[in-house]
């Protein structure tokens, strides 16, 4: 790693840590003043940031299965991001300690009055909830560690058997991620309103995590392309490929979200429609409309343009917009569970994403600095350096 790039990364790491610590101190004061609001805001922030760690794991495994220079261009970024999963597991502790302030099924009196909660109690209970979360993290962290270890062995030895092994394991690991993340979405978010259910809910979370990660990878790689060694091989072709992928997942997110809405709204079942009624009234409809416009319509129109996807100065702003709207989406999914009467925003809703984000970004940069940004053993390197631009 070149000295100037390392100095830049050191500066980013220090500033991120300062922001994270300062915001954490402010959020701690908020926790003392209003513990319930702290936990609500914390859950939203944590769900947003864990999306980058898990989305990175999913994209790395997807790239091992499909190949392509687009994955090689961002693989080190993704490997650094998925190595933040242990930090995110530790950051789950406040949620674990505050279950009784977040989830109605932890209230024994409420369960005693509600036959439906009694029916769901064998699944929705604190010990089983925490045990499932522990299993999820063991599986995710284990899969990430194996993927990183195989990449390190490839870097060190150049033996392609490690690449083949990674490809062989990626299929089962990707299936495990899809299943476990579906259950995690049900546990962490959907069970905030245990009377409501949707078979598309887990899919929306999985697609959203991958979309968040692609947006973050585009922003980070557009900054890295100004420095060696990225400057020598990362071309507008790779940004076009990444832009195409981001465009595809914007469409997939819109399809999954609209499908869930259309099925529930047209079905008009009393157990399901109140979930959308709460999110389309009392001010929450403003967030819903912003998602339609800024999460779908604007990125859709911009990413239709080939010039935008090849422009390393414009594409990152589209990615930043999507990244910001991902936080809005998580807020819209979770917030009405606590405030069904109407939109309610608190200063902790800003402080906690900054706190967790500063800590996460500092750890991410630490991981990124720990390994070469480019593997000289990678079979794609020579091809990337020699291939002509698609113009």
Q: Taking the CA atoms of the chain, what radius of gyration do you get in angstroms? A: 21
Measure the CA–CA gap between 166 and 34, rounded to whole angstroms.
47
In tens, the pLDDT along 29-46 reads: 999 999 999 999 999 999
Q: What is the pLDDT of residue 338?
A: 96
Q: What is the pLDDT of residue 228?
A: 74
In tens, the pLDDT along 339-390 reads: 999 999 999 999 999 999 999 999 999 999 887 777 655 545 545 545 555 6
Burial 204-226 (b: 16+ CB within 10 A, else e): bbbbbbbbbbbbbbbbbbbebbe
Q: What is the pLDDT of residue 359?
A: 98
Q: What is the pLDDT of residue 127?
A: 97
Tell me how crowded residue 229 is: count the other CB atoms within 10 A of its CB.
16
Hunting for tokens 């990362």 — which residue is that? 234
**Structure tokens, 297:** 């319509």
Q: What is the pLDDT of residue 364?
A: 97
- Residue 95: name the closest of 63, 51, 133 by CA: 133
Cβ atoms of 211 and 326 within 8 Å: the answer is yes
First to last CA, the chain: 29
Q: What is the pLDDT of residue 371?
A: 79
Tell me how crowded residue 122 is: count the other CB atoms within 10 A of its CB.
8
Q: SS3 sequence, 248-308?
A: HHHHHHHHHHHHHHHHHHHHCCCCCHHHHHHHCCCCHHHHHHHHHHHHHHHHHHHHCCHHH
Hunting for tokens 């917030």 — which residue is that? 335
Tell me how crowded residue 379 is: count the other CB atoms within 10 A of its CB.
13
CA 213 to chain centre: 6
Measure the CA–CA gap between 50 and 43, rounded to whole angstroms.
10
Tell me how crowded residue 15 is: count the other CB atoms within 10 A of its CB.
14
Ranges of residues in the chain with a pLDDT under 70 are 1-3, 229, 375-391
pTM of the model: 0.94
């Amino acid at each position: 790693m070149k000295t100037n790039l390392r100095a830049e990364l050191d500066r980013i790491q220090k500033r991120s840590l300062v922001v994270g610590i300062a915001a954490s101190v402010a959020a701690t004061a908020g926790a003392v003043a209003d513990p319930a609001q702290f936990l609500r805001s914390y859950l939203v922030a944590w769900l947003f940031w864990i999306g980058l760690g898990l989305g990175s794991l999913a994209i790395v495994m997807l790239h091992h299965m499909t190949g392509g220079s687009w994955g090689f261009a961002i693989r080190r970024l993704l490997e650094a991001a998925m190595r933040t999963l242990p930090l995110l597991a530790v950051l789950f502790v406040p949620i674990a300690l505050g279950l009784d302030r977040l989830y109605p099924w932890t209230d024994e009196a409420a369960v005693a009055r509600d036959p439906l909660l009694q029916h769901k109690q064998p699944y929705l209970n604190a010990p089983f909830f925490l045990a499932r979360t522990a299993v999820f993290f063991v599986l995710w962290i284990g899969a990430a560690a194996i993927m990183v270890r195989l990449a390190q062995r490839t870097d060190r030895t150049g033996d392609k058997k490690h690449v083949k092994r990674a490809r062989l394991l990626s299929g089962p690991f990707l299936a495990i991620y899809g299943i476990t993340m579906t259950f995690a979405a049900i546990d962490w978010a959907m069970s905030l309103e245990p009377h409501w259910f949707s078979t598309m809910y887990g899919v929306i979370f999985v697609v959203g995590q991958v979309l968040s990660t692609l947006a973050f990878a585009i922003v980070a790689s557009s900054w890295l392309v100004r420095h060696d060694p990225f400057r020598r091989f990362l071309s507008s072709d790779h940004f076009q490929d990444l832009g195409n992928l981001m465009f595809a997942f914007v469409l997939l997110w819109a399809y999954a979200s609209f499908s869930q809405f259309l099925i529930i709204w047209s079905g008009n079942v009393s157990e399901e429609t109140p979930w959308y009624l709460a999110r389309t009234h009392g001010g929450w409809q403003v967030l819903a409309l912003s998602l339609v416009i800024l999460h779908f319509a604007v990125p859709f129109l911009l990413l239709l343009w080939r010039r935008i996807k090849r422009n390393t100065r414009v594409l990152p702003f589209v990615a930043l917009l999507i990244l910001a709207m991902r936080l809005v989406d998580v807020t819209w999914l979770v917030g009405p569970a606590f405030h069904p009467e109407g939109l309610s925003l608190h200063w902790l809703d800003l402080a906690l994403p900054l706190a967790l984000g500063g800590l996460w970004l500092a750890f991410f940069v630490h991981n990124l600095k720990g390994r070469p940004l480019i593997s000289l053993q990678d079979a794609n390197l020579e091809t990337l350096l020699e291939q002509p631009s698609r113009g």
